[in-house]
Amino acid sequence: MKKVFIIIIAIFVLAILSFVLISLNLNPTITGETVTELEYSYTKAICNETNFCQDYEIVCKGNQTIEIKPITGATIQHSRNWKDSRTKEQIEKSCD
């Protein structure tokens, strides 16, 4: 009876140790590296003189534009008398 109890305790301890080791291995660890420049993206409509607008994904790293990619199918042709409701600052905004 004593041997069975010791075996059950040993299995229980091994199960806990296994769980701890697996969970430590799955969690990211602190590397000591710092984030120097954040990379992010946003979408923006760019319109031409005929009021044809295309949405683009603007990819930034810090305040520098890395890439400007057109979004397929995200276009619209506005009428001649259409006025963009965005401010000049919003229209010309780039990576800040």
Q: Where are the domains of the chain?
A: 2-79+87-92
Rounded distance, CA 58 to CA 10, Å?
57
Out of 9-18, 31-40, 54-63, give the one with best mean pLDDT: 54-63
Predicted confidence at residue 79, as pLDDT, reads 96
pLDDT in tens, 65-95: 999 999 999 999 999 999 999 999 999 988 8
- State the amino acid at position 25 in one-letter form: N
Query: Which residue from 41, 39, 66, 43 is spatially nearest to 56, judged by alpha carbons?
Result: 43
Rounded distance, CA 12 to CA 26, Å?
21
Q: What is the pTM of this model?
A: 0.59
